[in-house]
Amino acid sequence: MAKSPVNQLLYDGLQVLQHRGQDAAGIVTGEGNTFHMHKANGLVRDVFRTRDMRNLLGNMGIAHVRYPTAGSASSSAEAQPFYVNSPFGIVLGHNGNLTNTEQLQEDLFRQDLRHVNTSSDSEVLLNVLAHELQENVSNHRLDPAAVFAAVAGVHRRCRGAYAVVAMIAGYGLIAFRDPFGIRPLVIGYCDTEQGREYLVASESVALDVLGFKMLRDVAPGEAILVDVEGNFHSQQCAASASLNPCIFEYVYLARPDSVIDGVSVYESRLRMGESLAEKIRTDFGHLKIDVVIPIPDTSRPSALQLANALGVPYREGFIKNRYIGRTFIMPGQAMRKKSVRQKLNAIGIEFQGKNVLLVDDSIVRGTTSQQIVQMAREAGATQVFFASAAPPVRYPNVYGIDMPTLQELLATGRNDEQIAREIGADALIYQNLDALERAVRMANPAIACFDTSCFDGRYITGDITPEYLAKIEHARNTPRPSGDSSSSKQLDLNLAREE
């Protein structure tokens, strides 16, 4: 067990990874056999006050920020981590999305005799883990073999994407990743005078900022266990496992200073810009581009490298209000539309009388793209071209990213010319999927396959049917009573520390 409290470290970790979710935040610490929890809706800085931090006692803990991808974003009941008191007392944080939640809920109720209090699949996952621990423990005593057998049971029962950290009261910390390795999970260490401490997080940037060294990524299907004495255990718990990281992490979600599955996010975005430049030279050589302007912040590396490759000036044409949240994460299309003008403002001198190439990381709904093109024209641009570092998003994402329904996706049922007209651009350049995969794989050739389902409709878990997608579409588009959190799901930070 660590010799110092972890509450401040967990808080700082959440601040570093606030970009992964802005809807709710929570921290649980472990002090002996006692858990201390505080969680609520809002940003990290608003959820935790000094009095809350003082109550988070203990030398191990987990923390989480919520990112809602469907249903209600107002239910504080679905803020994580979740807690269950049997067996032993367990808290859990989850990044991803289960795809067989309904079946698991029924099995938990009818077979496992467990009650799930919310509609969150993260609470379902917690109860599956709790049941499997109960089934595998002998004489009411935990050991690594029982923990790993329980995680193997989770892998057999749960489908979809999940990177998980959990804490067992008085015993230790568990972290594991789904057998396809869709969502990221890294582990780091820090050697102190008192011994070695471990930290697990969604992105390596948390390790850097908190003073930990990168140990490695948690492997697909693998489970990590650190007990209260500081003993480190790991074991592959899936019958078959393969690495298929979500490529959208590199396009948009992750911070550029993170390294995920051996790939520098920043380097991959530079290469996306290079391949976009090559496509422009080959297929759009007739365009007269005077200036390349990124749409801040995620697209900056791609735009910079694109401009360098084309020999065109790179300029910052939009100023971002850093106190407005990322529009992609905001719940509700009305709020998303309202926020764009509050978030960005054009610098007229960079647009006046110029043919401008705007570069963004991706186009999902097109709401932001359309308004930004209009802003560029109002600022005096002669022509406005638009480049996307990612291919057209044409399919729902079911693994934990907020793009679940076909009708919300601008590219569904439209070709490039139609999309260009929809957003008001004079020309539209999309990244090719093979070029995107190549841009990421160049940093780690060992990655044979990515989750690219939102671009090509290939769902690597093999259980996504047209009926399943239709059910998601119906649930997404059905109005719900105020306060009903049905179908709510989150993409989160998983952060934990123990010596």
208 marked as binding residue:
no
244-265 burial: b if 16+ Cβ within 10 Å, else e: bbbbbbbbbbbbbebbbbebbb
What is the per-residue DSSP string for 142-178? --HHHHHHHHHHHHHH--EEEEEEEEETTTEEEEEE-
Tokens of 38: 């505080």
State CA 414 to chain mean position distance.
Answer: 27
Tell me the C-alpha distance between 205 and 190, whole Å.
Answer: 15
> Among residues 120, 68, 128, which one has the least CA distance to residue 400?
68
Phi, psi of 68 (to 5 degrees): -80, 135
SS3 260: strand
**Structure-token pair, residue 484:** 């009903």
**Residue 360 labeled ligand binder:** yes
b/e string for 388-424 if b means 16 or more Cβ within 10 A?
Answer: bbbbbbbbbbbbbbbbbbbebbbbeebeeeebbebbb
Distance CA 17, CA 150 (A): 29
Q: Which residues pair with 427 in a beta bridge?
A: 385
3-state secondary structure of 261: coil
How many angstroms separate the Cα of 187 from the Cα of each of 261, 264, 265, 304?
Answer: 11, 16, 17, 31
Q: Which residues are annotated as a binding site?
A: 298, 360-361
Q: Which residues are annotated as a binding site for Mg(2+)?
A: 298, 360-361
